[in-house]
Every structure is written in structure tokens, then in C-alpha cells.
Structure 1
Amino acid sequence: MSGHIQLPSEVIDISSWHPDDRFPVYPEGSREKSAWISPQTPELPFLLGSHRYLFKHSSDRHPVQFWGEIVAYRLGCLMGIPVPPAYVAQKSTDPRPAALIEWFYRSDDQTVNYEPGTVHMKRIIHDFDVKKGRQHNILTVLETLSEIDADLISDMARILVFDVLIGNTDRHQENWGILWRGIPSKPQLAPAFDNGTSLGHEVLDDKIPGYITDPQQTVHYIARGRHHMRWHQNRDEKIGHFELIEWLIKNYPNLKQELRECVSFDLGLFNSWLCTLPTFPVPVVPTMERIQWIECLLCLRIERLRSVLAKKD
């Protein structure tokens, strides 16, 4: 699963694209986003023609956050995990760059039906808290997936390993779902979308040198990482990133080899690509110190994941 590696000369300008009137604009909240339809014949060959893309800005407080979507896409390709393609883009009328994210199904395809995780959580937990997702829990998620198709459990496990590597804390019930494709329809887990709450995005640039000079700060930062999910619907505490992976392979030992393969890629080659991000000709790029810290975060997390997955039964 190689995917296209966007070059600095390939920043996408969507000024001539048409807004998707079927998709609302979301100016409220922490991250402004809107949907656009690509030209029938895009200027760049790696873009799909006449396809919906999400144009997603960073939050005002964390201007480099949109880069997390782009970095996460590249990591997903290397891990063999489906992640919607994400590229650097901007509009001539707005200097702010953003992530341009490929919609993971064609909106005009009548043979596709998408059900967000919320639908399934509400089916089992009738008073499910849709707004905060306080009852969002791993046991109900796995119960849901096993009822639909037991193979979906391994797909979710791979996404959770991906979330650990990028430090994603926001895989809530609206950030996963089931795609039903074809006639008769068959289920598959949607790609791992909405990956911006990750990779230390919330740490401001002036704080990063402290993490670099004192590695223990980074170790403690990683240890505090939590999934959005709880153990079960009546518990408030969220599950630790690595704690959940340990539990998964203990209860589903047949997943271990598949999850090992997800973290077997060459991180050095990825880091070489990562160092090119500051050369993109847009007003907001990661500093080299932030790049260095992301490299450190990924190195420590992948080492720990490999250690967890190497443990004997």
C-alpha cells in the first residue's frame, strides 16, 4: 500500500473547485472544514476526478495541526492500514494551508451505505451519550463488530495500533464506521479517518525544545496517551494506548502476527520524507525541531509496540 508521496511542487490549489452543496460547511468548533468537488480531469494525476474532498484547516491555537492528517496518511501507507489520502492544499483567496482529504467513498455510488459507529453504539446502548461519547467502550465496539462480521475485529485492532503509533486520542464513535458495499452488500470497516488529534500537535513550538533536551519528558508524555474508548460503558477512565494493545493480543492471540507486520516498516525511510515537510511553499510548515520531536515520538512508540507484540503468550 504505497500511496502517492506529494512533492513540494505539488501543493494543490482548489480555487477553481466547486463546493459540494450536499455537504454542510462547519465553521464552528476547533477545526473549520468544508467539502469540495474536484474537476473532472484534475491537474495532478494522483487526484480523483469529480470526487468529494474534505478541506480541513488547523485550529487557531495549533496552526500546524493539519499536517498531522498528511503525516498519518503516509504512516498508514507504510503500515498497510487504509487511511484516506491527505495532501497539502490551499485557496488563492485564503492564504491558510489545509489538509485536502479524499472522501473514502463516492457520494454518488448508490451501492454504498455508510454507518458511523454512533449508529451501532445506540443500537446496543439505548441511552448512549451521542455528544460526549462517555459510554464509548471497547467491549461494545467488539461485540458490534463480531455480530456483523468477525473479520472486522482484526481491522479495528490494526486501526488501534495505528492510533497508538500516532498518539491519536480522538477515535470516538463518529470517527469509525461500517461501509456496506455492493449488491448484495458486504461490510467493511471504514478507513482510519480524522487523524489530526495526534503527533503532539497540541504542544506549542516554544515548548518542544524542553522535550528534546529532556527525553524523560517525552517518555512521560507518551505514557499519558489514552484512547477515546473506555473498558466498558459504566467506566469513566479511558484506556491507555499500550494497555489496550496488550489486552487485545491476550484475548485475541491470533491477531499478534498481523499486528506485528503493521509495525515492521523502515522508520528511517519515513523520517527522510518527514524532513522534506518544511520545504513545502506554504505559510505554515513544521519547524525542524518539531520534525525532530515527531521522529522521537514515533521511534519510542514503535519500539514499545514491537516489544508488546513480541511478548510470548
Structure 2
Amino acid sequence: MVDSYDVVDLVDWTRGESEPGGDEAKRWFIAPETSPHAGHWLFKPRRIKTLELSKERRDRGDRPDVLIRGEDWAEKISYEVAKLLSVPAAETELATVVQLRTDERVFGSMSRDMRPHTWAWTPGAALLAECDDDFDAKSCRGHTVDAIREALNGLRGPVGTDYADWAAFDVFAGYLLLDAWIANTDRHAHNWGVLQDPRTGDVCLGPSFDHGSALASGDEDRVRALRVQQQRVATWCEHGRTKRFRGGEATNLVDIALDALSVCGAAARQHWAAQITDVDLDVCFDIVAATPNLSDPTRSFVRTALATNRKRIRDAVR
């Protein structure tokens, strides 16, 4: 029996500033001194959406269905499997808090601030814009593997990790490998970036973060259940595409990862191929089992998706 991951209650934590853009629910918190989770964390609630009813159901007087998105469990599972790959990623926990504005308890995930104290953060979009006057973050024009490689040229891997002396792009290739494994479709130009030490001016790649769209977390539970029932999870994996690269063109996630592995250093290519090949699926399945509040069909879906995508990637990198 695998122990479930804790859901951290932020009731005694110090509330910091909300994220820019007026999102009151997405807020920074500071752990109390007695907490095992020392530091500065960003809480992100799982999103809840009321779905539009068909005319027939409206006429019947049915109540609208409510979609509870799974960003929280997707973030937690993605972080834990990133560790299995040894991909540097922002530490993530499940969390809950009572919103002061509504007095409502909400659930979500929290990620530890990946910035060392006083270090500056620059998103990938700013780096790409410096290299390409035609880059456009909204349309993803200019967000390509080759452009990212050029933008990261001369930079090093994340500070405080085993990759601190690696070329930044060699580490970034691992991020794209992770995306292909977890079906993360949201690696846009603001979902990666670099950190700068204000004392020395040194710049390094930041850890991977923001994996909430992974593993079909935005689908209804019944949709994931139907894929399992009809044995269509493998087909879903094969159709996994992102529109965050190549000017918004729908591109297979495994192809994006392979593009990065084909142009990174030989040692890095061998390293990442070995990492995905050597993953213990039983440990991976334990991660899914330890994630609380998942339905049995969703657990089955996530296990099958991770096993299927791992095989697809392993076959491709051989």
C-alpha cells in the first residue's frame, strides 16, 4: 500500500502578493518557521468550469455539468516523474486554502519559488525577441527548437543542480523529453526562461515548471474513463500534439523531443535516452497511486498514458 501525498493546508501561512493580471486566486504564500516546507510558494487553484448544456437538456430543466480540471494532480504527478528522469523541475505539492474574498475552500497545487533570493527571471519570449525581430509569442512564430537553441547558446544549466555545468540547451532537451512523456502541450515561450545572478551577471536556464495541462487534466473524468473503457488511450497518446511551436502548427510532442535530441550534445543525447529507457514503471505507477482524489478510471488512464508514451519515446530514440 502506497501512502498518499499530503495536501498542504495554507491556513497558517503568510499571504503574499497575487500574480500580475488580477488573478486573486493565484497567490504567493510564505511558509511559517515551523513548516517543513520552508520558503516562498505560488499557490494555483484547480479551475472549475460550468459547461454549456444542449438545448434539449436546457428544455428538460437539467442542471449544468461542472468540469473540475485536474491541474493540481497533473502538476504533482509531472513533478514526481520529472524527478524519475532527473529533469530539474520546480518543487510541487498539493495544497488547499480558504479564499479571503469568498470564504470558500479551494484546492490546487503550489510550486516553490525557483528563483534564488534577488535573482532576476527572464522568460524565453524575451530571449527569442532579442534574437528575432519577427518573433511573436502569441502566434508562437519563431518558437522553434532551433531558435531556442540559439537563444540559449553560451548559457549553462540550472544552478544548484547536477546540470549546472551543462550547456543550457542540453538540459532543455530533457524538458522536451519530459513534455513528450507526460503529454504536456503548453511549453510556450513564457513557460521556460533563465535566471540571472545580480552579483556576477551570470545567466543560467531555470528549472522546468507549469505542467498543469499534462495527462489530459483538462478533460472531463468521463472522457478519460471512456478512453480506458474503449482501449483508446494509446490512440490518444499517438495524437498528442502541441501548437506552441512552429507558428502554431500542430506538432507531435515526440517529434519535438526528437528534434531537440538530434541537435543537442552527444553526451546529453545519450544521457536523456538512458534516463527514459531506465525508468522503473512500477515506481512511476506508485506515484499515480499516491496521488489522492483520483477516480479509478483516471488512475488507469494516467498509468496507461505514461507507459504508452514511454514506449513510444524509447522506440524512437533507439
C-alpha distance in 2, partners of 1:95/1:104? 26
Q: How does 1:271-310 map to 2 (within 5 A)?
A: 271-278=285-292, 285-310=293-318
One-letter amino acid of the structure 1 residue matched with residue 314 of structure 2: R
Structure 1 Cα separation of the partners of residues 282 and 312 of structure 2:
17
Using the TM superposition, give the Cα deviation of residue 121 of structure 1 relative to its aligned residue in structure 2, in angstroms.
1.4
What is the distance in 2 between the residues matched to 1:21 and 1:250? Answer: 42
Q: Which residue of the partner structure matches residue 51 of structure 2?
A: none
Query: Which whole-Å deviations, capped at 9, do the CAs of 1:238-257 have from their partners, x for residues lacking one?
Result: 43111123333333461321
Q: Distance in 1 between matches of 2:47 and 2:114?
A: 23
Shift in Å at residue 190 of structure 1? 0.8
How far residue 292 of structure 1 moved from its aligned partner, in angstroms, is: 0.6
| 2:167 pairs with 1:174 | no
Q: What displacement does 1:14 show?
A: 0.8
Aligned length: 284
Q: How does 1:243-282 map to 2 (within 5 A)?
A: 243-252=255-264, 254=266, 255-263=268-276, 264-278=278-292
**Cα distance in structure 2, aligned partners of 1:9 and 1:84:** 17
Supply the distance in 1 between the matched residues of 2:85 and 2:242 (Cα, whole angstroms).
19
Residue 141 of structure 1, aligned match among 142, 148, 155: 148
CA RMSD of aligned residues (A): 2.4
3-state SS, counterpart of residue 55 of structure 1: strand
- Kindly provide the amino acid, as one letter, of the partner of residue 69 in structure 2: P
- Of residues 87, 100, 112, the one that matches 2:110 is 100
Scaled by the length of structure 2, the TM-score of the pair is 0.81
* Aligned-residue offset at 1:114: 1.5
Q: 1:299 to 1:8 in 2, by over 3 A?
A: closer
Distance in 2 (alpha carbons) for counterparts of 1:228 and 1:154: 22
Residue by residue over 1:183-205, the C-alpha shift from the partner in whole angstroms, topping out at 9 and shown as x without a partner, is: 42433211111000111112211
1:281 aligned residue: none
Distance, in Å, in 2 between the alignment partners of 1:132 and 1:227 is 13
Q: CA deviation at 1:300?
A: 0.4
Q: Which residue of 1 aligns with 2:233?
A: 218
Please give the alpha-carbon distance, in whole angstroms, between the structure 1 residues aligned to 2:229 and 2:216. 16
**1:89 aligned to 2:95?**
yes
Would you identify which runs of 4 or more consecutive aligned residues in structure 1 move more than 6 Å? none
TM-score, normalised via structure 1 length: 0.82
- Confirm whether residue 15 of structure 1 aligns to residue 11 of structure 2: yes
Structure 2: where are the runs of 5+ without partners?
49-66, 157-165
Deviations 1:176-233 (A, max 9, x none): 0011237424332111110001111122111223211332x222211222234434xx
Distance 2:26 2:154 in 1: 34
Superimposed CA distance per residue, residues 164-187 of structure 1 (whole angstroms, 9 cap, x where no aligned partner): 111001011110001123742433
Residues 1:222 and 1:8: Cα distance change in structure 2 (over 3 Å): closer
Whole-Å Cα distance in 1 between the matches of residues 284 and 5 of structure 2?
19
Deviation at 1:7, TM superposition (A): 5.4
Q: Deviation of residue 309 (structure 1)?
A: 1.5
2: CA distance, partners of 1:136 / 1:156: 14
Structure 1: gaps spanning 5 or more residues: 1-5, 279-284
Contact kept, 8 Å, 1:84 with 1:193, in 2: the verdict is: yes
Q: 1:164: which partner in 2? A: 180
Give, as a single letter, the amino acid of the residue that structure 1 aligns with 2:262. K
| SS of structure 2 residue aligned to 1:56 | strand
User: Is 2:4–2:289's contact at 8 Å kept on the other side of the alignment?
Assistant: no
Amino acid at match of 1:277: T
Q: 2:18, 2:297 → 1: CA distance?
A: 41
Name the CA distance, whole Å, in 1 between partners of 2:69 and 2:261: 37
Closer, same or farther: CA 211–10 of 1 in aligned 2, 3 Å: closer
Q: Which amino acid is the alignment partner of residue 190 of structure 2?
A: E
| Structure 2 Cα separation of the partners of residues 154 and 261 of structure 1 | 14
* Equivalences for residues 194-213 of structure 1 within 5 A: 194-213=210-229
What is the aligned partner in structure 1 of residue 129 from structure 2?
122
The Cα shift of 1:23 comes to: 4.8
Distance apart, 1:53 and its partner CA: 0.7
1:59 and 1:10, CA in 2 relative to 1: closer, same or farther beyond 3 A?
A: closer
Deviation at 1:26, TM superposition (A): 4.2
**Using the alignment, how far apart are the partners of 2:5 and 2:305 within structure 1?**
28
Instruction: Give the whole-Å Cα distance in 1 for the aligned partners of 2:243 and 2:167.
Output: 22
* 2:140 and 2:248 in contact (8 A); partners too: no
Structure 1 window deviating more from structure 2 (294-303 vs 85-94): it is 85-94
